[in-house]
Structures are given as C-alpha cells and as structure tokens.
Amino acid sequence: MKISLVATPAAELPVDALAVAVATGQRLSGAALELDKALGGVLSDMIASAEFRGRIHEVLPVPTHGRSGPRRVILYGVGASHDLDGQRLRSAHHELIRASRTYGYRHIGLLRAEPPLGMDSLKAVVEGCVMGTFERRSRQTGAQPERREIEELVLTGFGIGREHEVVAAQENGEATNRAREWQNAPPNELTPEALAQEALRIAQRHGLEVEVLGPAELRAGGYNLLLGVASGSALPPRLIRLRHRGGQQPGLPTQAGATVLALVGKGITFDSGGISIKPAENMSRMKSDMAGAAAVLSAIDVIAARKLPLDVMAVIAATENMPGPSAQRPGDVLVSADGKTVEIVNTDAEGRLVLADALTHALRNGATHILDLATLTGAAKIAIGHAASAGVSNDDRFWALVERAAKDAGDRVWRLPTFADYRILLRSQIADLRNAEYGEAGTILGGMFIGEFAGGKPWAHLDIAASSWNTNAELTTVLRGPSGAGTRLCIALAELMSGAER
C-alpha cells in the first residue's frame, strides 16, 4: 500500500472513498465541516439523526453523488474522546481499512478531522491503517473470500514535509504484521530451526552479528534450563542472538560504560505443557507461544534498518515443550547457566526456564539493560485481561522508559508489584528456586523468577500471554487473533534510549 501526504483539499481528492473520523457526541468542524457543506450537509444530518453515532469501529460509507472528487465519504467512529488512547486510535484505523477492503475500495483518502485527530496522530493513523492490511495466511486450497488490497492511501490535513514520519510508521505497522504472521504460522513450519533461519536472514540483510547455539554449544555453556525444556522434543533447541552495534565496529569490544539493550523473547514454537500436559481444548493456539520471540525479532529488523545509535541485541530461546520419553519431570532439579539450582515443579512453567538461560546469555554478551517479552502465564489474562500486557521490573527508571515507549507505540502495559513477600513463594526445599507455585500471584511470580537471573541490571518483563492473542469478542478495540504485542514497543524503547525519537 502506497501512503502519501498531500495538501489537496479533501473535496478535490480523486479517490474511491474519503475517510472522516468522528468521535461519539461530536459535531463536524473545520475541514470536515467544509466538506459537509459541499455535500449539502448530509454528513451532519446523519450524525444529528444518530444514523451514525461515532462508536469505535462503526464504519458508514456515504455516496457523494458527484458533488466532490471522492465517490464516497466514509464516516468512521473512534468512540468517546476521553477514551481515545494510542491503542484505540490504531484499532479504529485498523478496522477502517479492513472495512474499506471489504467494500472493494482501492484508493482511499483520509482527512485529518480535528477533533478527534490532532497533528500528533499521524503515527498512530498510519500504523493502524497498515495493520489493517494483515490477513491470516491461509492453507486452504479452495476459493477464498474476496477482500481487495488497497493500492493507495492519501492523507490530507496532516501537513507536508513529514514523509519520514510516514515511512517510519509504515515500517512499524509492517513489523507488527510480520510478528502476527509468525505467531499464526503452523508449528510444523515455524520450528526452532525455522526461527533461527529467519534471524539469519535479518542478520544478512543488515550485516548484524549473529550467533545460533545448538545442543552441543548449549551443553558446553551450561544452558541446562533450556535443554531441560527441549528434552521432550525430537526437534533440537536453538539459542539465537542478533546484535546491532549502533555505529560501533563489528568485532570490537563494547566501550566501557556504553548502554547495551537486550530484547529477550520466549520462543516456544509449540507448548504441549510437557509432562504437566495442557488440556486438549485450544491447545492448537500454543503455536503462538513464541510471540515474544516474534516481537523482538521483528523489532530488531527495524532497529537495524534505521541504524539507531544504540547497541541492541535480540536474544531468543527457541524450543518446543513436548512430553517425549526423555522429557523432564516434575521433581527434577536442574542447574541454570548462571549456577542457580532450580526445582521443576510444573513442566508447563517452561517459559521462565528458557528465559532464565536467555538472560544469562545476554549478560554474558554485555547487556546493561534487559527487556524480556513472553507469553508466560494464563494468570495474566485473569489479572488484567487481553487489553494490556502485565509487567514487572526491578528498576523504576527503566520501567519509566518502558512505560513511555508503550504509550508512544500504542501498546499498553501495566506494572504489577514485586513485594519481598512474594519471593518466599519461589523458595524450594531442595534447590535455590522452584519454577512454579500454585495458588496466588502467578503472573508476578513468573516475572520475579526471571528477575532472579537479571544479574542486578535494570530489567523489565512483559507478560504478553493475553495481549498477544485476543480470544474475547467483546473486546472490540483489541485486535482479534494474533496482535504482534510488544513489537512497536521494542522499537520505541530503542529509539528512546538512543535519543532518536520519531
């Protein structure tokens, strides 16, 4: 989809349809009101009569009958202005594009109607529109439902000379869709080795340092928690590391005091639960248990392409969690890569195990700040639902950066407490830690377990178990199915930390 900025008046745009945003209870003003006058007041009449109410995801095409350049005007709702944050704004434009594709429009204009769209809404508008082009890749061999691709999106009223912002926002939207595609890929296709191959392609494209450890290297490095999770699968695990040097010469040591941001992703390409096997119902969705890996892999692709002046690495622990004959058992004790002993209480609490070793690998390679993303706990859905990612952190200043990046990216996060009392629940009678505790604070404990391996560095954890895949039809402003949660946040965090905000 080609996206461009123009200064052409909305009524003169030669497009199939011109989109105009309306908030609930809002009257038309400014350029939108001028357009309405050219159409004989039909838009105001439809709003006044409540034929169109401005509810979020409400989309209504209105014929222009030759009174303007566009053949149709699309009124689209963004909901109540006081509820309109970055996530809802992107969602509204996601649905605008999906509806426009269903109607068969190929050339779309979009008028910045203020309110509800301010000049600072450009990034969210473009990202949301690009995300609306996503389709789940199909393996069906029969005829597919027709949904046309939009060839051109023309934005008016946003000013000119902001093309670099449009390009960056389009990249962010495409990166989110790429993560969604990986989330939705069949697990017999997107295996640990296939994830490694995706990483190698990104490394080759941008000239990044790349390291892929297989079973022999993992044993030599003492990555026994990752190996333990992988032991029940016939597919070998991979520990993947990509590094963007941020202007430093490859092969040279990092300068003393330099910041090195590690984005660490859980890459369980299929999770059966292991010996602590999951119920059969909905187990097919466990193909997306690598959503954290998808987010950091897609993000570093963009970070490297922009040549951000920051040292950033993406570290991915990739494996299946299967109940094969050599699978680890509840009651086993393993020694982690950093030397801590861990009692395996529940083999379905595997994400924190692989991330523990992944954090150690990041620290061994010089990480000074760590953000990990993982579909870690079902408890996250109970705690805060699909509408945000649950977070824990050991550092207020670093969390403030994560929170700011989340706001900029329209990718909500909410920090949970990490009181010292909770740490008691991780104690084991026979090891340094146990990997699960049944009964309470599941999301907090999962994150705190990972934090035990952060080496005292500024660290934050995002549990995207619910936010990465929405199954609740009532939550209309949260993308259904795979969402790519965390992708844009990782990009925004790297930009903030490099001083290259867009």
Domains of the chain, first to last:
2-139+150-156 (3.40.220.10), 171-498 (3.40.630.10)
Query: Quick one: 357 exposed, middle or buried, by C-beta within 10 A (0-12, 13-18, 19+)?
Result: buried
H or E element, residue 165: helix 163-184
Tokens of 96: 């605008």
pLDDT at residue 254 in the model:
57
Q: Which residues contact 308 (CB under 8 A, 6 or more apart)?
A: 244, 246, 494, 495, 498, 500
**pTM over 0.85, yes/no:** yes
Q: Quick check: bond before 325 cis, omega within 30? A: no
CA-to-CA separations, 105 to 97, 151, 256, 299, 335, in angstroms, rounded: 9, 9, 55, 31, 58
The C-alpha atoms of residue 314 and residue 372 are separated, in whole angstroms, by 10
pLDDT at residue 130 in the model:
98
Yes or no: say if 175 and 489 are a contact pair by the CB < 8 Å rule.
Answer: no
Question: Which parts of the chain register pLDDT below 70?
Answer: 138, 144-146, 247-256, 476-477, 500-502
Tokens of 412: 């909500």
Residues β-bridged to residue 242: 210, 314
What are 444-447's contacts with CB under 8 Å, separation 24+? 444/392, 444/416, 444/417, 444/418, 446/349, 446/351, 446/352, 446/376, 446/377, 446/379, 447/376, 447/390, 447/391, 447/392, 447/416, 447/418
Task: State the SS3 of 273-332.
Answer: CCCCCCCCCCHHHHHHCCHHHHHHHHHHHHHHHCCCCCEEEEEEEEEEECCCCCCCCCCC
pLDDT at residue 248 in the model:
62
Using one digit for the tens of pLDDT, what is the confidence trace for 150-177? 999 999 999 999 999 999 999 999 999 9
375 phi, psi to nearest 5 deg: -80, 80
Task: State the SS3 of 200-254.
Answer: HHHHHHHCCEEEEECHHHHHHHCCHHHHHHHCCCCCCCEEEEEEECCCCCCCCCC
Q: Which residues contact 167 (CB under 8 A, 6 or more apart)?
A: none
The C-alpha atoms of residue 320 and residue 238 are separated, in whole angstroms, by 10
Yes or no: say if 195 and 240 are a contact pair by the CB < 8 Å rule.
Answer: yes
Using one digit for the tens of pLDDT, what is the confidence trace for 434-459? 999 877 999 999 999 999 999 999 99
One-letter amino acid for residue 201 of the chain: R
- Going through 1-125 in order, the beta strands assigned E by DSSP cover 2-6, 17-22, 59-63, 72-77, 107-111
The residues annotated with a catalytic role in the active site are 278, 352
